[in-house]
């Protein structure tokens, strides 16, 4: 289903706001376990990159569309979406948040969300996998914000109160990726109370 640019912006804005609000609740737990080998600071740092890459890519206009959808972006980035380099970038991004990480995240949110709101969605940006329309790239960032802020909330023992527009956008992408990979069946069954997902199942 096609999503309007206004809806995509709202989903992104709400996801960014949820990251900011959740980061504000960390308190003194920045060195507590976050996700995998990341502590909370590194997890928040990695998640903040979903905003910072939008800002960086908006400053790098593309000349042509090379990847035409959010699904295409995720398929194209699979080869380098995990591993030591990603883990290291998360730690570096966490360290870059400085002495007051929550304030740094709030400042990033306040800076980047208006940048997106001022665009029309048709802009071509240069991503790590090539030129994309902003409207096609932005849902990948909303997805990252929603999933990793949920990781953060879990690490902090907070409710998983994903904002509805962001949740809907992220779940659409999950469904589209499952269909693209031919693994929608197990997901459909698990989501409707049938058997749990097989060990290791992921759409990423």
Contact between 73 and 136 (Cβ < 8 Å): yes
Residue 6 has pLDDT above 80, yes or no: yes
Nearest Cα residue to 45 out of 149, 135, 173: 149
Digit-coded pLDDT (tens) for 45-56: 999 999 999 999
CA–CA distance, 204 with 201 (Å, rounded to integer): 9
Q: Is the pLDDT confidence value at 11 over 90?
A: yes
* Structural class in CATH, domain 5-190: mainly alpha
Residue 187 parent element (H or E): helix 184-191
CA distances from 161 to 21, 143, 149 (A): 11, 15, 10
Q: What is the pLDDT of residues 159-195, one digit of tens each?
A: 999 999 999 999 999 999 999 999 999 999 999 999 8
The reported pTM is 0.95
């Amino acid at each position: 289903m096609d999503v309007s640019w206004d809806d995509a912006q709202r989903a992104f804005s709400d996801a960014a706001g949820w990251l900011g609000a959740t980061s504000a609740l960390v308190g003194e737990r920045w060195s507590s376990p976050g996700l995998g080998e990341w502590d909370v600071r590194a997890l928040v740092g990695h998640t903040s990159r979903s905003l910072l890459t939008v800002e960086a890519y908006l400053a790098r206009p593309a000349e042509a569309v090379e990847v035409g959808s959010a699904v295409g972006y995720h398929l194209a980035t699979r080869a380098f979406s995990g591993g030591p380099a990603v883990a290291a970038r998360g730690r570096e991004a966490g360290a870059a948040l400085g002495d007051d990480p929550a304030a740094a995240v709030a400042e990033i949110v306040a800076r980047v969300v208006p940048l997106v709101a001022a665009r029309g969605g048709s802009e071509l940006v240069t991503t790590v996998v090539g030129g994309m329309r902003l409207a096609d790239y932005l849902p990948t960032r909303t997805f990252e914000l929603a999933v990793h802020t949920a990781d953060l909330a879990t690490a902090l023992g907070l409710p998983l109160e994903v904002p509805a527009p962001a949740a809907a956008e992220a779940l659409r992408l999950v469904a589209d990726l499952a269909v693209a990979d031919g693994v929608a069946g197990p997901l459909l069954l698990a989501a409707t109370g049938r058997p749990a997902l097989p060990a290791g199942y992921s759409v990423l």
